[in-house]
Structures are given as C-alpha cells and as structure tokens.
Amino acid sequence: MSHWINLFLHQLRETSWIEWLAVAFGIAEVLLAKANKVALYPAGIAGTLLSIYLFVTSGLYAESLLNLYYVMMSIYGWWYWIKKKNMPPVEITYANKKEWITVLSIVIGGFIILYVILKNFTPSTVPFWDAFVSATAWAGMWLLAKRKIENWILLNISNAVAIPLLFYKHLILYAALTIFLFIVAIQGYLKWRKIVKKENTFVANPI
C-alpha cells in the first residue's frame, strides 16, 4: 500500500498545470453530464484538446488520434442537444433496438480496428484491454451525444476495466480520477433514470 501511496504522491508532484487543467475540465464534463447540462460539451472539448496537446508533446500520437474521436463526437453532441428553432429540446430516453445495433457496431468495429493498430503500430503491452476500454468509451460517448440513459452503463464498463489497467501501468493519478468518474457515472445513471421516470409520469398524467 505504501508503494502505491508514494507513487501517487510522486505523480502529484510531477503533474504540470496543463495536466491539472485537463483533469479539471474532465471532472467538470462528467459532473455537467450528470446534471444533464449541455455545457458538458465545451468543457469536454477543452479537456480533450489539452490532452491531445499533452499526448503530442509526449510523442503519443496514437492516443492523440484516438482522442480526436471524442472531440468530433462532442461537437456532434453539442449540436444535437441544442434546442432548434420551433423544435423541443432533446429529452433523455432509453436506446431502442436500432440504436443498440449501432452501439454494438461501434464496440465491435472499434475494438477490432483499435486492437490491430495498438498491437502492430504502438508499444502497448496490453492492446486487447486498451482497445476494449476505448471501444466501449466510444460507444458511451455516442449514446451520451444521443442523450440516451445507457451511456452511463457503457462508460462505466469502460471505467471498470480502465481502473485496474491504469494501476497496472502505474498511472495512479489517472486511476484515482477514473474511480471518481466511476462513482459519478453511477450517480448520473440514477439521476437520469429519475428524470425519465418523472417525464413519463407527467406524460401519463398531464396536469
């Protein structure tokens, strides 16, 4: 235990202000998502762009390319969530069968592509798990953009695998952050489910 604590403290001391800012935007993003606020997207874009900068300057070009997906999906989600003229805002709903097919396509297709890339073109020692974490997170981001409650489930499947993976890589600070995000995602799922239930009750029993 003392080894992990010392490693965590060392990483805290070595963390740059840009990394802290990226982490802060990441935390803000998930808290705003939990609160069902569209502001989650500018926060997420800012955090992801900072992460891309850090990856590029560290020579982690594959990770930089992977994060471009999050930027593009965040831009799409931002546009999708904004209330259009003469149209009601997008409500939180459960994914239908067609949307689940899309989710599975993203997970399976993303996993295969990422696994091949990570195994053959990067120094990853755990390409299978790295690909799985990214593919499930990609699907979760797509569901979040569509304002589907199941986004929390996919994101937490990704988080659950990422936590031990980050410990394995000795990235203790990011492991601690992911544990926090895992807890917030559970709360987000429960809050969104409550919102959906309230909306359904109102529709069934209008005033």
Residue 93: strand pairing partners: 148
Location of structure tokens 């005033």: 207
pTM: 0.83
Domain range for 73 is: 2-204
Long-range contacts of 87-90 (CB under 8 A, 24+ apart): 90/146, 90/147
Residue-wise pLDDT for 27-73, tens only, equals 899 999 988 888 999 999 998 898 888 777 766 655 676 788 889 88
Residue 203's pLDDT is: 47
Of the candidates 191, 23, 12, the residue with the CA atom closest to the CA atom of residue 92: 191
27, 180 contact by CB (below 8 A)? yes
Please state the domain count of the chain: 1
**In this model, does residue 115 exceed pLDDT 70?**
yes
Q: What is the mean pLDDT of residues 193-203?
A: 76
Buried b (16+ CB within 10 A) or exposed e, 187-197: ebbebbeeeee
Separation between Cα atoms, residue 161 and residue 177, nearest integer Å: 14
For a pLDDT cut of 90, what percent of the chain falls above it? 38
Residue 107's pLDDT is: 96
**In this model, does residue 79 exceed pLDDT 70?**
yes
Residue 86's pLDDT is: 62
Instruction: Please state, in angstroms and as integers, the Cα–Cα distance from residue 31 to each residue in 40, 46, 66, 177, following that order.
Output: 8, 15, 23, 13
Provide the terminal-to-terminal Cα distance of the chain, rounded to the nearest Å: 57
